[in-house]
Amino acid sequence: MSQASIESVSRESRVFPPQADFARDARVGTRQAYDEMHRRSLEDPDGFWLELARELHWFRAPTQGLDWSGAPHAKWFADGTTNLAYNCLDRHLGPSASGLAGPNKAALIFEGEPGDVQVLTYRQLHREVCRFSNVLGKLGVEKGDRVAIYMGMVPEAVIAMLACARIGAVHTVIFGGFAAEAVRDRVNDAQAKVVVTQDGAWRRGQVVPLKENVDRALAETPGVRHTVVLRRTGNPVAMEPGRDHFWHDVIESVSAKHEAAQLDAEHPLFILYTSGTTGKPKGVLHTTGGYMVGTYATSRYVFDLQPNDTYWCTADVGWVTGHSYIAYGPLANGATCMLYEGAPNHPDPGRFWSIIERHGVSILYTAPTAIRAFVKWGDRYPMAHDLSSLRLLGTVGEPINPEAWMWYRRVIGNERCPIVDTWWQTETGAMMMTPLPGAIATKPGSCCVPFFGVSAKVLREDGTEAGPNEGGLLVVDRPWPSMMRTVWGDDQRFADTYWSRFPGLYFTGDGARRDEDGYFWVMGRVDDVVNVAGHRLGTAEVESALVAHRSVAEAAVVGRPDALKGQALVAFVTVKAGELPTKELKALLLEHVAQEIGKFARPDDIRFTDTLPKTRSGKIMRRLLKEVASGGEVKGDMTTLEDLSVLAKLRADDE
């Protein structure tokens, strides 16, 4: 990034006002109504949020909103006690006439990749969560203990999360695409006592051997006492007596009665690891009350959830979107949630559209990388299905290119469904900028306006506010309920990463511009973090994995634009003396990264080089590598480059 401002090249001018019929029935139906609510949320944040909080169940109702006396550590609703699982389940078990879901409403509609379907009503989900809460209790899990959940997209993953929340244990969900080493590091960092997993997960007709990975990880995780293993794929697994228990065995021996723990609003809810600019992932910590109110409110207003909706978020439970918008937010609203286990193109690229048609999905929330894949696979797949049940579309995870947005609107939404492009982060817990579908005119590629209680700004490097359409750094300048509370075990890193760039302001790490109408356009990360197919990766993590290989001396990993994945990784690698930069080594290194982190982190290309471009102080000049990797012209300041000939060599290698 240059020292001045960030150049923004997007010049999108299309505008789509909310449809009158959608706006008529929406919770917020005019721009004016949004403006008034947003103004109130900033003028009287405590009053605004306490009112929303009171829509939920508290054992002791909070009388305080924000406590910012320990900044940058916020407390919200600190004198209240509640339970998020209670709010997602027990609260709905009353008669549906009360405006809540009612016990017989479907909570989860699960479709496995092989085609099996299972529906769990709120009553049934409650029962399963109570039972699993008792299982965790029996295995010695106490309030505050950490439980790792390393599973695929099955109802039991949601059940395990809710059971942790119910007893006050802190879950850390580890994405099922991570390899054993990544599992080990997260389990150890969180000091988890119990790991919940499954024999295997279905993915494109193949079995992902989750238990086998856990076995490898657990060879080096001294703190883990027990595992619970769900049978899903039926592949043989090794079970260590005393340590490993099958889900179906342990669940048999417990009662279905369980009373939800009464937890302080600031009781830790979960740790979710996310990439930063160093090799070590950050354990983002969220707590109970603020996160609950934030995900509840955003689900309610942004998805405009109505009693008859069937809502589908296609994210994985291993990422924050799966936490906030598969599990907690929609269930706290009593919604019916679709859960799909497998790949979007199994057995063919029409799978998503077939699911929408068969289950009558009315709200679809997915990612730009998926949308670009659908565009590539062709219109004939969605066209072959009746998608008329859809009434609202959403996207999240990375900037969406206007043409993909237009395709989404035309081919999937039949030009009648509003699109909510929601900008937020693992750290923010809930959506921060988004249109409200009945109130805000949308522009393709823009995440539009701040949600209630959110005040965002685009700043220049020197901290002054950028002018209209001038690119800069995106910050949030006041606390919000669902904000992260700290980095697990590394509070200093929390302060350094988010609160030191502009003292007193939350720095997002994203570049953005705000247009003449006040709409935000997020351009992506400005740090060494890349977004590959919606997976947020620190390039430093991939570099550490490469350097861990015995043949590698040094590695620098950068992102380059990719039509499908948004960004792709290119690794520049120098080998140790005596090693040869062969094709075989390239293949080995790619496999090595897949082993260390997971297949999704495997670079698209590895380029061997004798030296890397460095500054005189020895810092790798990733900016130059980025330009080389993108095949573009290498411009900008090179005066700090120690050895100019390095660049010529790199480019010669390119040809």
Residue 425 C-beta: closest distance to ligand PRX, Å: 4
The DSSP secondary structure of 316-351, one letter per residue, reads -TTSHHHIIIIIIHHHHTT-EEEEE-S-TTSSSTTH
The binding track of 615-634 with respect to ligand PRX, each residue x by CB under 6 A or -, is --------------------
The DSSP secondary structure of 72-128, one letter per residue, reads TS-EESTT-EE-HHHHHTGGG-S-GGGSS--TTSEEEEEE-TTS-EEEEEHHHHHHH
- 3-class secondary-structure state, position 311: strand
Angle 182-572-641 from CA coordinates, rounded to 5°: 125
- 3-class secondary-structure state, position 305: coil
Question: Nearest CA to 524 among 623, 431, 423?
Answer: 423
397: left (phi over 0), alpha (psi -120 to 50) or beta: left
Nearer CB in complex with ligand PRX: 537/620? 537
Question: Nearest CA to 2 among 473, 369, 559, 554?
Answer: 473
Residue 34 C-beta: closest distance to ligand PRX, Å: 18
Of 289, 397, 453, 472, the one binding ligand PRX by CB under 6 A: 397
Size of the site for ligand PRX (CB under 6 A): 22
Residue 310 C-beta: closest distance to ligand PRX, Å: 22
Of 263, 370, 447, 545, the one binding ligand PRX by CB under 6 A: 447
Question: Nearest CA to 607 among 544, 567, 651, 561?
Answer: 651
Nearer CB in complex with ligand PRX: 267/525? 525
Residue 477 C-beta: closest distance to ligand PRX, Å: 17
Nearer CB in complex with ligand PRX: 155/399? 399
User: Which one of the spans 354-362, 380-388, 454-462, 505-513 is the region binding ligand PRX (CB under 6 A)?
Assistant: 505-513
Q: What is the distance of C-alpha 482 from the center of its chain? A: 14
Strand partners for 538: 529
- Peptide bond between residue 349 and the one before it cis (omega within 30 degrees of 0): no
Angle between helices 583-596 and 180-190 (to 10 degrees): 30
Angle 591-586-569 from CA coordinates, rounded to 5°: 75
Residue 262 C-beta: closest distance to ligand PRX, Å: 30
Within residues 309-328, the interface with ligand PRX by CB under 6 A covers: 320-321
User: Which one of the spans 132-140, 159-167, 306-314, 391-399 is the region binding ligand PRX (CB under 6 A)?
Assistant: 391-399
Residue 422 C-beta: closest distance to ligand PRX, Å: 5
User: Which one of the spans 22-30, 154-162, 349-357, 392-400 is the region binding ligand PRX (CB under 6 A)?
Assistant: 392-400
Q: Does 450 bind ligand PRX (CB under 6 A)?
A: no
Question: Nearest CA to 61 among 314, 300, 265, 306?
Answer: 265
Q: Does 487 bind ligand PRX (CB under 6 A)?
A: no
Within residues 273-312, the interface with ligand PRX by CB under 6 A covers: 274
The binding track of 523-562 with respect to ligand PRX, each residue x by CB under 6 A or -, is -xx-----x----x--------------------------
Nearer CB in complex with ligand PRX: 209/397? 397
Residues that bind ligand PRX (CB under 6 A): 274, 320-321, 396-399, 421-426, 447, 508-510, 522, 524-525, 531, 536
